[in-house]
A and B are shown apart, each in its own frame.
Chain A
Amino acid sequence: MSPGLYIAQQIINGVSLGSLYALVAIGLSLVFGILRMTNFAHGDMMMVGAFAALTIGAAGVPFEWSLLGGIAIGALTGVIVERVAYRPVRGAADVTLLLTSLAVTYILENLGILLFTSSPHDFPIPEWLDSSYEFSDGQITFTQVNVLTVVLTGISLSLLGWFVTRTDMGLGMRAAAEDMQAANLVGLDVNKLIVIAFALASGFAGLAGVLWAAQAGVVEPSMGFTPLLKAFVAAIIGGFGSIAGALLGGYLLGALEVFIVAFLPSELSPYRDALVFSLLIAFLLFRPNGLLRTSREVKL
């Protein structure tokens, strides 16, 4: 097998995995940016999106529509959680917010267990999605789900990029992330901006959940936990609160995980996650602002 093709294959795998991490990490960063709160329930929006798509699909609705349904229900759940759980404790101590988001995690996951039991469910995908491409005598292969993942991530992120640079609301969201009071003083409705941030973040998580389930072939109530931790690492690598940082961190982390398995001695593969979290610790120690965030300084 030619090394060039092998590397190309790994890059494809890395981009596909990185897309999912980026989708989830951007949501974490959007919410953190505006509320300074780490939303640990964010991973559960993936689970909600995936189960929503599964349920809608089981009713005979085509996959495209159940995917959209997963995104919409993920977004809606995020908005409800913000209104019911987070808004009442807004402005409270960090630890209160943290505990609240952990509580939401437990409630959502147990709701999932109550409705769907804790065992994995098959996640059926339609025939057109259940195929793969092979090039160079099978030395490079990728599935239709990989393609869909990368394409939909690209579309979502382009839309997000347009939103935060070209619309009043998007600019307002960045303004509020930087200085909530000054945003108030120019007349931005900060509550509305927070709702939009949650809708976007949770919609992205819903999309990531459906794509994750389509790749894994199964859904289960605890499926959001691992991707959440990974997205957390990705967001920190890039610079917590920065959208571009989360994007960069997501793809870097995806590539790193794939490369650890592909290029390091196979005895190290089981330690993939340990290596990833060591990286997190290294960043927290030596570059806590991440790659793209410079520390804020007061300018006179």
Chain B
Amino acid sequence: MSNPPSAGPPLLAIEDLRVDYGAVRAVHGVSLHVAAGEVVALLGANGAGKSTILRTISGLLRPRAGQVQLDGAPIHRLAPARIVRLGIAHSPEGRRVFGNLTVAENLRLGATSRTDRDKVPADRERMYNLFPILRERMHQVAGTLSGGEQQMLALARALMAGPRLLLLDEPSLGIAPLIVRSIFATLGELKRQGTTMLLVEQNINVALGLADRAYVLRTGEVSLTGTAAELRDNYERVAEAYLGARQ
């Protein structure tokens, strides 16, 4: 298990996190960390608690116990808007773009939390270069975009916040394989530029292709963790960690 290389707290640290969804215990006792510059994947079957963890990090859910720390300071009692301002942007499951607003307006709202307003135009330009199709569709209402285009917009909207940590929830869900490849190529580009990401994915191959490390969750607990290379060489163990050991 790799610990943060340098002294000082990792960018994001989660300690013994427990989250309930009504009467259901969705996450019980998960600890993980993400160092600056790292891409970490959270893998696991449906209902393993992956999205719940992301939603707790961004403040949409309150943990029953445990801690979420950014730079060593607890953030799990803060409001979502506050957490965005601290530098965590979340591209949610199902994309959730504002369908009645145009592509440009969606990007504009992505930057709504920024205090460094002067850097916003350059970032918008960067988004249009990363996703040229969005430039073409700039004045189109987001509800009319294809699923893949909406996913790109959701990503770009999150990036417009200028985040130090990007949370990605299932960017490949319901999208044609060719577009998935193109989106992950862009994510690879962002990684090379130093963007820190915590990625939730069901598609193990693309996730391990991008990530440095991964955690596998099963029914709300970490069942396996390691570097992406280790896990790639050990598919049986990953599959076992997904579904539970055969006995």
Option from A168, A178, A189 in Cβ contact (under 8 Å) with B100: A178
Residue among A172, A187, A190 with the highest chain B CB neighbour number at 10 A? A187
- A144 interfacial contact with B, CB 8 Å: no
Q: Are A299 and B147 in contact (CB under 8 A)?
A: yes
Q: Which residues of B contact A190 (CB under 8 A)?
A: 81
Closest CB in chain B relative to A60 CB, distance in Å:
45
- A59 interfacial contact with B, CB 8 Å: no
- B62 interfacial contact with A, CB 8 Å: no
Closest CB in chain B relative to A289 CB, distance in Å:
14
Residue among B81, B99, B100 with the highest chain A CB neighbour number at 10 A? B81
Closest CB in chain A relative to B118 CB, distance in Å:
16
A162 to B92, CA, bound (A): 30
In A122-153, which residues have CB < 8 Å from any B CB? none
- A185 interfacial contact with B, CB 8 Å: yes
Q: Using an 8 Å CB-CB cutoff, how does the interface string of B77-113 with A read, 1 for contact, 0 for none?
A: 0011100110001101000111111000100111011
A168 to B105, CA, bound (A): 9
In A181-220, which residues have CB < 8 Å from any B CB? 181-190
Known: A171-B105, A187-B80. A182 touches B92 (CB 8 A): yes
- Chain A interface category by residue count: 10 to 19
- B58 interfacial contact with A, CB 8 Å: yes
Option from B81, B98, B112, B113 in Cβ contact (under 8 Å) with A182: B98
- A300 interfacial contact with B, CB 8 Å: yes
- A179 interfacial contact with B, CB 8 Å: yes
Known: A186-B157, A299-B143, A300-B147. A174 touches B81 (CB 8 A): no
Q: Are A179 and B96 in contact (CB under 8 A)?
A: yes
- B60 interfacial contact with A, CB 8 Å: yes
Q: Are B96 and A181 in contact (CB under 8 A)?
A: yes
Q: Are A181 and B60 in contact (CB under 8 A)?
A: yes
- B174 interfacial contact with A, CB 8 Å: yes
Q: Which residues of A contact B81 (CB under 8 A)?
A: 184, 187-190
A22 to B224, CA, bound (A): 60
A172 to B98, CA, bound (A): 10
Determine the residue in chain B with the shortest Cβ distance to A188: B112
- B43 interfacial contact with A, CB 8 Å: no
Q: Are A175 and B92 in contact (CB under 8 A)?
A: no
Q: Which residues of A contact B60 (CB under 8 A)?
A: 181, 184-185
Closest CB in chain B relative to A167 CB, distance in Å:
10
- B26 interfacial contact with A, CB 8 Å: no
Option from B100, B109, B143 in Cβ contact (under 8 Å) with A186: B109
A187 to B112, CA, bound (A): 7
Q: Which residues of A contact B96 (CB under 8 A)?
A: 179, 181-182, 185
Q: Which residues of A contact B174 (CB under 8 A)?
A: 300
Known: A174-B100, A186-B84. A181 touches B92 (CB 8 A): yes
- B161 interfacial contact with A, CB 8 Å: yes
Q: Are B58 and A185 in contact (CB under 8 A)?
A: yes
Option from A168, A186, A189 in Cβ contact (under 8 Å) with B161: A186
Known: A171-B105, A171-B108. A185 touches B90 (CB 8 A): yes
Q: Which residues of A contact B80 (CB under 8 A)?
A: 184-185, 187
Q: Are A186 and B99 in contact (CB under 8 A)?
A: no
Determine the residue in chain B with the shortest Cβ distance to A168: B112
Q: Which residues of B contact A187 (CB under 8 A)?
A: 80-81, 84-85, 112-113, 161
Q: Which residues of B contact A174 (CB under 8 A)?
A: 98, 100-101
A184 to B58, CA, bound (A): 9
A185 to B109, CA, bound (A): 10
Determine the residue in chain B with the shortest Cβ distance to A181: B60
Q: Which residues of B contact A175 (CB under 8 A)?
A: 98, 101, 109
Closest CB in chain A relative to B162 CB, distance in Å:
11
Q: Which residues of B contact A299 (CB under 8 A)?
A: 99, 143, 147, 150
Determine the residue in chain B with the shortest Cβ distance to A182: B96
Q: Pick 27 A–B contacts, CB within 8 A, sort by A.
A: A168-B108, A171-B101, A171-B109, A172-B109, A172-B112, A174-B98, A174-B101, A178-B98, A179-B96, A181-B60, A182-B92, A182-B97, A182-B98, A183-B98, A183-B109, A184-B58, A184-B59, A185-B58, A185-B80, A185-B96, A185-B158, A186-B109, A186-B110, A186-B157, A186-B158, A186-B161, A187-B112
* Residues of B in contact with A (beta carbons under 8 Å apart): 58-60, 79-81, 84-85, 89-90, 92, 96-101, 105, 108-110, 112-113, 143, 147, 150, 157-158, 161, 174
Q: Which 8 A-B pairs have the closest CB atoms?
A: A187-B113, A187-B84, A182-B96, A184-B80, A300-B174, A175-B98, A185-B90, A187-B81
